[in-house]
Amino acid sequence: MRGRHLRRRFSLQPSFMKDDNNEDKPKRDKVGRTNVVDDAIGPANARHKIVVMGSAKVGKTSIITQFLYNTFSPKYKRTIEEMHQGNFSIAGVSLTLDILDTAGSYEFPAMRALSISSADAFILVYDVTDSSTFEEVRAIRDQMPRDEGHHSGAHCGCGQQN
């Protein structure tokens, strides 16, 4: 097995959207406004980490790119782990979402456990035409820590037809 499968990639946008000469461009949020939010987290700022999990080939990356970049690519590219970031302003509060796109194969259980332990919220994605992907989502949910009998963090289930 080649070493490229073991490397973790972190980026602010999917690799198929990267442009080599984008250093001079100002950062823009999902509706095209220039981003003036700095990295300081104060009372008018909030930052949350969302982890998107599910079986392989259920559309986790497609959901993220549609939400953050308003684009869709029909090409399938296997994801190991990729970090995306979205900046929003809601009622005068600056909100930064760090969205972790996880691998569907889960060949690395330590990466899965770290993702679960570091998240503020989860999006669990399954294919509505394949019941085994729903069972995988149930297994992932059962691995999440519980707080007084309830799962900690917010959960959202998302069915998608591929």
pLDDT tens per residue, range 20-54 = 444 444 444 444 444 444 444 455 789 999 999 99
pLDDT digits (tens, 9 = 90+) for 75-133: 888 888 899 999 999 888 999 999 999 988 777 778 888 888 888 999 999 999 999 99
Q: Is the pLDDT of residue 139 over 80?
A: yes
pLDDT number for residue 4: 41
Question: How is the chain split into domains, by residue range?
Answer: 44-160
Confidence of residue 143 (pLDDT cuts 50, 70, 90): confident
Q: Which helix (H) or strand (E) holds 112?
A: helix 109-118
Confidence of residue 152 (pLDDT cuts 50, 70, 90): low
pLDDT number for residue 38: 44
Q: Where are the beta strands (DSSP E) in 1-152?
A: 45-54, 81-90, 93-102, 121-127, 146-147, 150-151
Helices H / strands E in the chain, number of each: 3, 7
Structure tokens given for 94: 């600056």
| Class of 44-160 in CATH | alpha beta
Please report where in the chains the tokens 């503020």 appear, as a residue.
120
More confident residue, 70 or 146: 70
User: The pTM is what?
Assistant: 0.68
